Structure 1
Amino acid sequence: MDSLAIVILNFNGQAFLAKFLPTVLAHAEGHPVYVADSASTDDSVAFVRANFPDIRLIELPTNGGYAGGYNRALEYIRTNYGGARYYVLPNSDIEVTPGWIAPVMALLEANPQIAACQPKILSYSQRDLFEHAGAAGGYVDWLGYVFCRGRVFATFETDEGQYNDNQRVFWATGACLFLRADLFHQVGGFDDSFFAHMEEIDLCWRLQRLGYEVWACGQSTVYHVGGGTLHKSNPHKTYLNYRNSLFMLYKNWPSDGWLWGKFLLRLILDGVSSLLFLKVGQWRDVMAIIRAHFAFYGHLPQLHRQRKALQKQQKTAVALYPHSIVWAYFVKGAKTFRELRNR
C-alpha cells in the first residue's frame, strides 16, 4: 500500500495536463501519480500515454463529474493497486510547488483525528491573491453560505503570510484536497448526485458529524487557474452551485426547529440574487436558479432518506459560523475574514 496517491481527475483537459503534469511529477516526492480520465473526447488519454509513461492511467467509461469520477477512481485504486493511506486530489489546473506535500502529510500524521486537509490556494494569474476555490480554508454560516479565510464573496485578500498557520476549518477545498483514505471510503465517498461543486463541503460536514476534523495547512502552497472544466460564467455552474447548496443543507443542517424557516430565508435570498442577475441581463443564470430550486424539490424524498441516515450515524454536533455572512458583508461592510472575526 502506498502512503499517498496523487490522483488527478481529467475531462477534456489535455492543455492543462500538458502544462501542469510535469510540475506535479517533479514534486511528487516519490508518490505515485494517477490520471483518471472521465471519457474525454480531446485525446487526453493518448496524450498521457505518449508523454507520461510513469503515470498510472485510469480510463473511466463515463463522465460522472467530480463526485462520481473520484468515487470510481479511488475505488479502482483501492481494488487494483492496493490503495493508499492518504489521497490528494489536485485539479488538473493546479500548479504545485516544491515541498507542497510534506507539511500536509506531517500534519495528518501528527493528528489522526484530521480526516481532510488543504494547502493554501493562491491565484495562478494573480499570484499574490488568494483564489476563490478554498483560499486558506472554508466555513459555512448559519444560513448555509460559504466563505473562506482569504476570500469572502468577491473580495480576495493579498497573501501577506496572515494564513501561514495550520488551522482547523469547516471545509477543505476540492481543488486540492488531502483525505485519509479509510475514512473517505468509510463514509461512502462523495455524494454522486452532486456531480460537481459543493461535494467536498458535504463530505467535510459528514466527516465532522462522526467526530473527525478538517484543517488547512498554511505551510503548503499551490496555485489554481480556476474554472478549468466549467467556467464561472457558465449558467450550468450557477445551477450546480445553487442546487447543491440546497442538497447539502437539507442533508446536514441541525434539527433545531428552524429547518424550514432557514430554508425560506435561503429561498428568498436566492430570489434576490436572481434579481441581481436579471439586472445585468444574465437571464440564463436566473433560469438556472429556478431550475436548481425545482431540482431540489424533486430530490426531497432521496435527501430526506439521506438526512435520516446521517442523523442515526451522527456522533457529535457540528458548529456553523453563528452569524449571517450576507449581512456582515453587504450591510456591515466586513469584507475580509479578519474583519468578520473582529466583529
Structure 2
Amino acid sequence: MNVSIVIPNFNGEKFLIDCLTTLKEQSYQDYETILVDNGSTDDSIKLALEIMPEINCLLLDENKGFSAAVNQGILNSKGKYVALLNNDTLLTVKWLENLLACIESDENVFSCSSKMIQFHDNKLIDNAGDAFTVFGWAYQEGHGENINKYLDNRYIFTSCAGAAIYRREVFDKIGYFDEQFFAYLEDVDIGYRARIEGYDNLYCAESIIYHIGSATTGNGYNSVKVKLSARNNVYLLYKNMLGIQLLLNAPFLIVGHLFKYQFYKKIGFQKEYSEGIRQGITNRKNLTKTEFKISNMRNYVSIQYWLIKKGLQYGIVKIKKMLKLKNDI
C-alpha cells in the first residue's frame, strides 16, 4: 500500500457522494481510504460503505476536531504517504497521481498541496498553498484569483490539509497534528515545524480539486471560526517562534493584531476575536513548544526571511484593503 487517504468527517453525508465517487475514479489506484468520523448523527457511515465497501471507517464517540480525527487516521494508516482530504471536495481524475509524483520528486519534501478551485465559481482559485507573514497572518495564496494563474509548481510555506499529501515517516520526527488546535491553522503549524527541521513544502499545480469550503463549520465568518482562528494564531506563534524572534517581530505582530481587530470590528466579530486572543495567551502553557536545536538555526533564519518577504508582498496590501473595507463584506 503506497498511499493512505484520510478523510475526516462530521455530518458530511451530503458531501461524501461526490467526494468518494471521484476518489474511486482516480487514475492511480494503489491506495487505501480511511474515513474518520467525528461522532456524526447522520447516515455518513452507511452512505460511505455503500459507495466504497472497502473503506475503513474509524468511529470517534464525539466531535474531537480536525486534528484529532486526522491523527487517528494517520496512526491507523499503512501507506508510505498519507493524503488528507476534506469531505467537501470533488477530485479530478489525476489528482492523486500528480500529487504523488510531486512528493516523490524530492526526498526532502514533507508535503505537497493541491490546486484548490472554488466549487461555486470554478474560474477562481480557492487555495494555492498556505502562507504566513511577519504580521502573524496566515492566508491562502491565490484565493479569489483566476484559475489561469499559479500554473507552476513552487515552494510554499505550508500545505493546506484540505487536500495535501504528506511523507509518513516525517510525522515520527516532528510529531502529529496538534490536537490543542482542534481546527484551523493546525496545518500551518505542522508545516512550520517541518520547515524548522529543514523540510520543504511544495504546491502541485497539476493536482486539481474543487472545494466547497467550510462545509462543516459554515462559510464566511462566524463566531466559532473567528474565535478558534484567533486563539490558534497565538498558539502558532508561541509554539514555533524563538523568544528572540517574538521580540524582533513584536512591532509587526502588534500592528497585525490591531488591524485584525479593526477588521473584525467592522464585521461585528471583535468580541470573538478578542476572546480568542485571550484564550490563546491564557492557554499557551498547555502547548508543547517546538524543540529548539542549534542545528536548526539556519532554518529559523530562512523562515524569518520568508515571513518578512511575505509580509512585504501581502501584509501591506491587506492593511490597505482593511482600511477601505466596505460594509457589504
Measured against the shorter chain, the TM-score band is 0.7 to 0.9
Q: Is the 8 A contact 1:253 1:259 kept in 2?
A: no
The equivalent position to 1:297 in structure 2, one of 263, 273, 281, is 281
Match of 2:55 in 1: 55
Tell me, yes or no, if structure 1 residue 287 matches structure 2 residue 271: yes
Match of 1:87 in 2: 82
Q: Please report how far the alpha carbon of residue 262 of structure 1 lies from its aligned counterpart in structure 2 after TM superposition.
A: 4.2
Q: Please report how far the alpha carbon of residue 70 of structure 1 lies from its aligned counterpart in structure 2 after TM superposition.
A: 0.7
The equivalent position to 1:172 in structure 2, one of 147, 150, 159, is 159
The separation in 2 between residues aligned to 1:227 and 1:28, in whole angstroms, is 27
* TM-score, normalised by the number of residues in structure 2: 0.88
The separation in 1 between residues aligned to 2:224 and 2:272, in whole angstroms, is 7
Q: Is the 8 A contact 2:136 2:253 kept in 1?
A: no
In structure 2, the gaps of 5 or more residues are 323-329
SS at match of 2:76: helix
Query: Could you tell me which amino acid in structure 2 is paired with residue 95 of structure 1?
Result: L
The RMSD of aligned alpha carbons is 2.0
Q: Is the 8 A contact 1:119 1:136 kept in 2?
A: yes
Q: Please report how far the alpha carbon of residue 301 of structure 1 lies from its aligned counterpart in structure 2 after TM superposition.
A: 2.0
SS at match of 1:48: helix
Q: Is the 8 A contact 2:18 2:89 kept in 1?
A: no
Q: Please report how far the alpha carbon of residue 71 of structure 1 lies from its aligned counterpart in structure 2 after TM superposition.
A: 0.9
Inter-CA distance 130–112: structure 2 relative to 1 (3 Å threshold) = same
* TM-score, normalised by the number of residues in structure 1: 0.84
SS at match of 2:159: coil
The separation in 2 between residues aligned to 1:228 and 1:272, in whole angstroms, is 27
Moved more, 25-34 or 239-248: 25-34
Q: Is the 8 A contact 1:139 1:320 kept in 2?
A: no
Q: Is the 8 A contact 2:125 2:147 kept in 1?
A: yes
Residues 63-212 of structure 1 mapped to structure 2, 5 A cutoff: 63-77=63-77, 83-131=78-126, 135-151=127-143, 156-160=144-148, 162-212=149-199
Q: Please report how far the alpha carbon of residue 62 of structure 1 lies from its aligned counterpart in structure 2 after TM superposition.
A: 2.7
Query: Could you tell me which amino acid in structure 2 is paired with residue 243 of structure 1?
Result: R
Match of 2:11 in 1: 12
Q: Please report how far the alpha carbon of residue 139 of structure 1 lies from its aligned counterpart in structure 2 after TM superposition.
A: 1.8
Inter-CA distance 262–331: structure 2 relative to 1 (3 Å threshold) = closer
Match of 2:225 in 1: 237
Alpha-carbon displacement from aligned partner over 1:28-55 (angstroms, at most 9, x marks no partner): 6222222111111112122223443121
Match of 1:29 in 2: 28
The separation in 1 between residues aligned to 2:42 and 2:216, in whole angstroms, is 13
The separation in 2 between residues aligned to 1:33 and 1:70, in whole angstroms, is 12
Tell me, yes or no, if structure 1 residue 327 matches structure 2 residue 311: no
Q: Is the 8 A contact 2:234 2:281 kept in 1?
A: no
SS at match of 1:194: coil
The separation in 1 between residues aligned to 2:264 and 2:209, in whole angstroms, is 33
SS at match of 1:310: coil
The separation in 1 between residues aligned to 2:123 and 2:191, in whole angstroms, is 27
Q: Is the 8 A contact 2:4 2:83 kept in 1?
A: yes
